[in-house]
Chain A
Amino acid sequence: MSDFKAKPGLPLIDREESLYFLRQMLRIRRFEEKSAELYSATKIRGFLHLYIGEEAVGVGVATALDPADAMVATYREHGHAMVRGMGMDAIMAEMYGKVTGCCRGRGGSMHLFDAEHRLYGGNAIVGGGLPVAVGLALADRMQGRKLVTCCCFGEGAMAEGEFHESMNLAALWNLPVLFVCENNYYAMGTALNRSESVVDLTQKAAAYGVDAMAVDGMDVIAVVAAARKAVAQIRATAAPFFLECRTYRFRPHSMFDPELYRSKQEVEGWKQRCPIQSLIRRLQEQGWLDEEALARLEEEITGEISAAVDFAERSEWEPVSELSRFVYSDPEVQ
């Protein structure tokens, strides 16, 4: 933490870090805006779930982890992948379905995996990643590695049995899992209060004796602070922690969704709290970001994205003769 200061009357934030958060959030935002465009141009197919509006959560949580920690995410995971260190090239090529993609074009947008950065998917079965996260943490614990497994999921997943079973097991066995609920208030078209009898989600953690905290998921600095606290506690106790980040998705659930279930005003209201705009305002108030610096940042990101698009365009398709590869580890097994 290099430059921990603030103008009188303003809350303390770290200059370099804040600029880093801004860069990461903007990278995600612009990358996804481009992805939406490429979807309309039919370069990207299948389902495409955008994280736009929720960037502070992924950036905040991923930043709080060490490089060796593990992460399990959902189909709305471009941002998590990027912050954990996966390059835009590998993600874009994956969404193009090219062999240079992180999964050789076999997974697409919903299934980003990265062994080097310990990203264990990209899971498109709601709730499907939670038990896996528990297992990863178990493996770390049993092999004496002092690592944390971070598991991100939507509030919709909390209605699945797997959420409850995973929380219970992680608590029962004292496993170092950071459960991160990205509460964007809607599971497709189902509002939180139509899917949960108790809408204070942290209370569910209490039922399993798991420590919990809720945080403003539109404020990246608040998310980082909360996530760091949670991670520190997990490392100290090895016990799981539940972090609810209250956020909002500005876009439809995926690319087809008439959004009959929420009002334009509601969406507009949340857009006023855009995590990127808020951070820009804060940085400007501090005098740490002028128009020129912001324009330069945007330009760098545009460059990074067009390089990724070029890379994806230029890349090859996996030969069809490889279709049956990787069904089993031993290529002789059919």
Chain B
Amino acid sequence: MTGQTRTITYRDAVCAGLRDALQRDERVFLMGEDVGRYGGCFAASKGLLDEFGPERVRDTPLSESTFTGAGIGAALGGLRPIVEIMTVNFSLLALDQIMNNAATYLHMSGGLFNVPLVIRMATGGGKQLAAQHSHSLEGWYAHIPGIKVLCTATLEDARGMLWTALQDPDPVLIFEPSILYAMEGELAEGAGAVDIARAKVHRSGNDLTLITYGSCLYKCLDAAEQLSATGIEAEVIDLRSLRPLDEESFLTSVARTHRALIVDEGWRSGSLSAEISARIMEKAFYELDAPVERICSVEVPMPYAKHMEEAALPQVATIVETARRMCGGG
């Protein structure tokens, strides 16, 4: 690394990752709705059609199930497709292909056919898009054996996870929190591929562990800042990979802080946060000084009105309040 950085958006970082992959491996191609002429529904693939042509940046009809299935077929046939589904909400039309084909072929064929496919999609709320455009369903996908599930919260990961995912012999889903596309930050000039197996500690502390991923990372970092002002030092972990879970990272942290608070934009019941909590109970129960707690979205379909949406989503104030209570403060 040169030490030089430049200011770019999360969207630019995604685009840089796509460009890099298309340049480095001619088996790679991108397909999805409006990825070409429109430039991507979040403008993440803007310019790529001109650069790589319509063979490798393919606009598809509105046919989520079929173009995802075609991605599976193309992967079986020797290509390295990147399928973009506009948002996780529409991925439910392709759930059958993801669950019943992509995730099963390797095992079901006795190891004969692996599916080296990457599927990217946006996720999450916060933009007043109501109940058909705002949910965080990545936790559901993390339920499925046979696929890997990543969520890119930072510019480094938005830039670097794609290439690593493309090297994986099996299907990898990458979730991009849509609220982050416009986020600006510094990215190293030489930034490239990153690992996709490990969680990352974004802030260290000894009093409590905040376990999170995606856009809630920033809420946790804000909360940690506020907690620090009142003498509570929180450790903040970005899971990065939701399946497999890097449980060592949070178990090690909890062994030191003795308190765990999980912050997840998904719903609580039967969720990823429940899974993490269970693993802490199973493997670090005797380390705990307080019950594990969770802050999740309220279990309602996402409402449109701003004040209601805010009330439904995890918020910094709740994180601070809960953390303080867990640490014995007010």
Contact = CB atoms under 8 A, between A and B. Distances in A.
Contact of A105 (B33, B64, B299, B305): B305
A317 B34 CA distance: 36
Given A97-B305, A160-B93, A110 B300 contact: no
Interface residues on chain A, size class: 35 or more
Contacts of B64: 160
Given A97-B305, A323-B303, A327-B301, A260 B37 contact: yes
B101 interface: no
Interface in A216-261: 257-258, 260-261
B311 A323 contact: yes
Contacts of B33: 187-188, 190
A194 B49 CA distance: 14
B304 A97 contact: yes
Given A124-B133, A189-B34, A261-B37, A45 B306 contact: yes
B193 interface: no
Nearest to B90: A125
Contact of B130 (A107, A128, A157, A318): A107
B66 A161 contact: yes
Nearest to B305: A97
Nearest to B66: A161
Given A46-B130, A190-B59, A260 B38 contact: yes
Nearest to A44: B128
Given A161-B63, A187-B62, A320 B38 contact: no
Contacts of B89: 125
Interface in B6-64: 33-34, 37-39, 41, 59-64
Contacts of B128: 45-46, 97, 108
Contact of A106 (B39, B65, B130): B130
Interface size class of B (residues with CB under 8 A): 35 or more
Interface in A292-334: 317-318, 320, 323-324, 327
A111 B305 contact: no
Contacts of B63: 159-161
A124 B132 contact: yes
Contacts of B65: 161
Contacts of B300: 323-324, 327
B188 interface: no
B206 to A, nearest CB: 35
Given A160-B62, A190-B37, A124 B298 contact: no
B312 A323 contact: yes
Interface string A3-34: 00000000000000000000000000000000
A123 interface: yes
Contacts of B38: 188-190, 257, 260-261
B183 interface: no
A-B CB proximity, top 4 nearest = A189-B38, A97-B305, A159-B61, A108-B304
Given A159-B61, A160-B93, 12 more contacts: A97-B128, A97-B305, A105-B308, A111-B132, A125-B93, A125-B132, A160-B64, A187-B61, A190-B61, A195-B60, A323-B303, A324-B298
